[in-house]
Chain A
Amino acid sequence: MNEQIASIQSSALELIAAANDARSLDDARVSVLGKKGTLTLAGALIKDIPNEEKSAFGQSLNAARTAITSALEEKQNALQAIADAAALSGIDLTLPARSLQTGGLHPLTLIRDEAIQILRRMGFALADGPEIEDEYHCFDALNTPADHPARNEKDTFYFNSGKLLRTHTSSVQIRTMESATPPIRIIAPGSAYRRDEIDATHLSVFNQLEGLFVDTDVTLPDLKGTLEYFFREMFGTTTEVRFRPHFFPFTEPSFEIDVKLQIKGQAPRWIEVAGCGMVDPAVFESINATRKDNALDPEKITGFAFGMGLDRLAMIRWGIKDIRLLIENDTRFLTQFA
């Protein structure tokens, strides 16, 4: 009997070895271990074996089953390994990707958002005003004399209605103070217009960011601290910031702000980035006259204002040499900010 089992085992192992796919391996399993498989049938013979030989027969039967089962398992693993390898063969990691559309925000949006994020951390809320303005909000209320050069038709776009395109976002200061009461803490990003021929450094329509803080205890240290913080957040915490005395009709004292920056391949130098100053009491007086109250009493209320050119900040930040790149929308330029 043992010879018979040995023969079943060896032919089973041959079948398993010959199997070359999952299908033929399963056929081999069924032909040996299935209901009518050779080993199963041989096992059924145990009932005819004399009792004293039953134990030895059982043992050899089990040994054969174990050997065949493990051969099956081994072969199955080997076949799976071959199939797995085949599934991955020919895949070329170095072939280029399929294509997906990419998109991105305009650099001006990026710089504007960065500036807004910094100022919001300090508690400035956004404000807004019309771009088609009247002389009152653009000039008169901002303490700009009637014959001031900026009011020239050579420098400012006027309409037949007598209105004009605001020459700065400072008009939003007036719009805000006409209705709000202190504390007023606002920033206003927006377009401004000047009759400049478009060239590498000028646009007739450009982008500014205005800021205003009006309250009972606003001082030069507040102006200085706020703007130092802003520009250090913008250009790095160790950035040097300086305030040069300057003149604007609607602030006094007034300053221009420079930051010391190192542009690639150049020595560090002072670069003008903004104008600022303490709100001129004449501005408060003129708004009080419009409001017909004394909500902005210049004896009690002080404030500071600042304004900066966002196009210019973008040019500084990314080393953009020609401002026209910001309005031409060449995707070869825009993809660099995606």
Chain B
Amino acid sequence: MNISLNWLSKHLDLSGKSISESSDLFTFAGVEVEGIITKGIASDKIVVAQIMEAVQHPDADKLKVTQVDAGEGQLRQIVCGAKNYKVGDKVPCCLPGAQLPAGFTIGETKMRGVESKGMLAAAEEIGLPKGEDGLLILPEDSPIGVPVKTLFDSDTLLELEVTPNRPDLLSHAGMARELATLLKTPLINGNAGASPASSIPAATDFIKLEATAACPFYAATRIDNITVSESPDWLKQRLTSIGLRPINNIVDITNYVLHETGQPLHAFDAAKVTGALVIRQAKDGESFKALDESVHILTSDDLLISDESGAALALAGVMGGLDSGVTESTSSIILESAYFSPSGIRRTSRRTALSSDSSYRYERGVDPQGVLPAAALAISLLESRSPNDCITQAAGQIPPAPSPVALDLTKLHHLLGNSISTEAAEEILTRLGLTKQAEGKWVIPSFRQDLTRHIDLAEEITRVHGLANVPSRFRATLVPTSDVDAAYDADMILRRRLAALGLYECQTIKLISESQLSDILPLRALQDGDLIRVKSPLSEDHAIMRPSIVPGLVTSAERNARQQAKSIRLFEMGRVFRNAGGGKAIDQESDSLAILVTGNSQPSSWAAKDRAADLYDAKATLSALIPNQTISLKPKDRENFTLGAEIKAGDQTIGVFARLSLKRERDLDFISPVFVAELDLGKLRKLISNKSQVEDLPQFPGSTRDAAMELSLTTPNADIEAVLEKAKEPLLISYECFDLFTDPSGQKIAADRKSIAYRFYYRDSARTLKANEVDAAHQNILKLLKTINGLEYR
């Protein structure tokens, strides 16, 4: 909402307050100041001064030393470089402390050794349009000492955000009432004489109120013999000061009254109303054409202002109809002032996506007692009408004032840490317009429908008292670690490990697009209906809850590759979403870790040739992440990927591994393989929480034996490992593959064969083994390995 400080000053004396002081005042009333726009001269410290004397500066050819009368009882010495004035002229004088639009504040200074107590200013220096070169020469009759801003149109526009619980602040009068409370200053009665007639005749001929629930009270005034014309200057100025465009005297008056009092008014052209105004619910499917020419199909929940012909003249409280408004040829109007049910207006506005300054106020709740005074103010502004031209009627009941509310002093003092006295607390409520009854109950003014409970009164007292005046209490509590704490700590350990392993953590949007679905790698493959789609996505890019983090990482890797990143290693942790029952079961959320490796295995350096990261680099990262587990990959195809595998920690499946399909890599312009993995974070957390007892260090030395084997290129290494595990040789402690050799040219070894070398560690925990014992165990191992089809020792 826009508030003009000049307009506000009609209600409240704000003189002596700087813009920033006024702005703070709003801030601590709970009203957010979103913008401050200054028009014309802002500072009060720029005053009219008369130049009484001007002599040459002793040390500067281009400067004069002036003595000016700024209405202070004594002359002020100011050094000035302008040439366009003569002694006796009146000019703007910026006193020390004046803030100029250029952003600096005037002070007292010395210029070339001569004291200068302020500045004589040109028009553009004080925020006015640029005039002639030199000082701004003011009219001869300008009173000395008055702020120059009073001679020019100047104003400050505040863009305010009023919270939804305070509709009473959505007007200049309402805002002034609030500020007067906070400042403890009286209001200036800006609209004297606008009180409504003491009795309004009940509606007989031109209002028919059918929907009393949606419209508890409806008043209308028929005004004849009007002339639609341009508004007077003062009115146009008021509207333009808050950014509204003047239209004609009737529309402008309704707009003015709305922004002055907060009560929306609506003017119908009486000639376009057949019979009485009928306030009724719309019929389901009834059509309404709004004055912005949009057409809406209504429901029986919408409230219409209609007439006896059934025409839809206005969507009550929201927007007028295209055909019922005031035009230049209008000679009689019917002026509506009403109280509509806030929730009804809110629903209609939401359903039709129509909103207006009126609906904004009605849906928050206008002051029921303000309905008639607003109409009276509008009528008074329609220049001298003869009483016969003006008939007001009303239907329904003005909603009652809120019930009195009890203030619980014990709770209040507890809440505020005993930082306010009961008297001071009660004085705040009194200033806010509440009246104390017997038994600690407070009568609530009609414009504060939001005050219904003790806590509402406590909030008002707290707000005005200010949290700055409440003491701070520091205390800690002992709380047991929750499961969420444990999971968080495990996640942080994993994150730090991944970072230490050379991966960067990513954060991607949890809503993904249809086109990213080919990259999903959920732990369990999805069935039809398992995807969770939002009903009305903002864009196709963010339409589906991610069932896997991999698509986000692929997109991130693609972006980095486009930026010429040579080595890309990424991870992300977070929620993934699926419906486990093809859309029939409940939506499931679980935590997942995804890893992506592509590009060079290491950043480039002089010391090593660049090498593209391969499957075994990716596998190394997985192994190093959980070093206390044997990590293996068990081939298992995944749609849209190649080299798909289950990730095993010992016997437990903890995730899925794959390489993007080669076509997908080409489509995304990746120049080296893209390896991805998605792991079950729940299982990882358990695996890293190592609570096992330590093993004793070996007391006796062990021995090693090597074996060089040749076997078919297609025999997987898993076959060797399977034999070794099955052997259960008690002396074999561990083994490792230490060499692998192939030769596609077939020169050193047949192209369809590979040479693989293993080293075996033998040890007994109770004694030192003899050489022949080691040899016997090793021979046993070699014999078992020989059962692998095509295996030869070299």
Chain A residues packing against B (C-beta within 8 Å): 95-106, 108-109, 113, 116, 121-128, 130-132, 145, 147, 149, 152-154, 157-161, 163, 165, 183, 185-186, 191, 193, 195-197, 203-205, 213, 217, 219-222, 224-226, 228-229, 242-247, 252-256, 278, 280-281, 302, 326-332, 334-335, 338
For residue A313, give the distance in angstroms from its CB to the closest CB of chain B.
Answer: 14
A191, B510: Cβ atoms under 8 Å?
yes
Assembled-state Cα–Cα distance A222/B475 (Å): 8
Q: Does B794 contact A (CB under 8 A)?
A: no
B509 neighbours in A (Cβ, 8 Å): 203-205, 327
Q: Does B39 contact A (CB under 8 A)?
A: no
B477, A123: Cβ atoms under 8 Å?
yes
Residue among B481, B503, B504 having the largest count of chain A Cβ atoms under 10 Å: B504
Residue among A97, A99, A222, A280 having the largest count of chain B Cβ atoms under 10 Å: A99
For residue B468, give the distance in angstroms from its CB to the closest CB of chain A.
Answer: 7
Give 5 nearest A-B pairs by CB, closest first.
A101-B502, A247-B163, A245-B30, A225-B472, A221-B473
Take A191-B575, A330-B563 as given contacts and tell me if A121 and B475 are in contact as well, using a CB distance cutoff of 8 Å.
no
Q: Which residue of B lies closest to A145 (CB)?
A: B343
Q: Does B202 contact A (CB under 8 A)?
A: no
A95, B467: Cβ atoms under 8 Å?
no
Residue among B419, B459, B500, B563 having the largest count of chain A Cβ atoms under 10 Å: B459
B163, A331: Cβ atoms under 8 Å?
no
Q: Does B470 contact A (CB under 8 A)?
A: yes
Assembled-state Cα–Cα distance A255/B532 (Å): 36
Q: What is the interface size of chain B, counting residues whose CB is below 8 A from a CB of the partner?
A: 91
The segment from B151-159, B432-440, B605-613 that touches chain A is B605-613
Partner of B484, one of A121, A128, A163, A197: A128
Q: Does B499 contact A (CB under 8 A)?
A: yes
Q: Which residue of A lies closest to B537 (CB)?
A: A157
B545 neighbours in A (Cβ, 8 Å): 132
Q: Does B11 contact A (CB under 8 A)?
A: no
B505 neighbours in A (Cβ, 8 Å): 103-106, 109, 334
A243 neighbours in B (Cβ, 8 Å): 467-468
Take A224-B470, A331-B568 as given contacts and tell me if A149 and B507 are in contact as well, using a CB distance cutoff of 8 Å.
no
15 cross-chain CB contacts under 8 A: A99-B608, A101-B602, A131-B575, A159-B532, A159-B533, A185-B477, A217-B414, A219-B414, A224-B473, A245-B463, A247-B165, A254-B459, A326-B507, A328-B556, A338-B504
A161, B587: Cβ atoms under 8 Å?
yes
Assembled-state Cα–Cα distance A253/B165 (Å): 12
For residue A217, give the distance in angstroms from its CB to the closest CB of chain B.
Answer: 8
Q: Does B28 contact A (CB under 8 A)?
A: yes
B502, A329: Cβ atoms under 8 Å?
no
The segment from B186-194, B246-254, B488-496 that touches chain A is B488-496
The segment from B450-458, B682-690, B697-705 that touches chain A is B450-458
Q: Which residue of A lies closest to B501 (CB)?
A: A103
Take A103-B498, A131-B575, A247-B164 as given contacts and tell me if A158 and B474 are in contact as well, using a CB distance cutoff of 8 Å.
no
B570 neighbours in A (Cβ, 8 Å): 329
B499, A104: Cβ atoms under 8 Å?
yes
Residue among A147, A183, A219, A220 having the largest count of chain B Cβ atoms under 10 Å: A220
Q: Which residue of B lies closest to A157 (CB)?
A: B534
A100 neighbours in B (Cβ, 8 Å): 502, 602-603
A326 neighbours in B (Cβ, 8 Å): 507
For residue A135, give the distance in angstroms from its CB to the closest CB of chain B.
Answer: 13
A105 neighbours in B (Cβ, 8 Å): 495-496, 499, 505
Assembled-state Cα–Cα distance A153/B568 (Å): 39
A106, B507: Cβ atoms under 8 Å?
yes
A228 neighbours in B (Cβ, 8 Å): 472
Q: Does B743 contact A (CB under 8 A)?
A: no
Interface flags for B138-171 (1: CB within 8 Å of A; 0: not) read 0000000000000000000000000111100000
Q: Which residue of A lies closest to B568 (CB)?
A: A331
For residue B487, give the distance in angstroms from its CB to the closest CB of chain A.
Answer: 8
Q: Which residue of B lies closest to A98 (CB)?
A: B607
Partner of A220, one of B347, B353, B470: B470
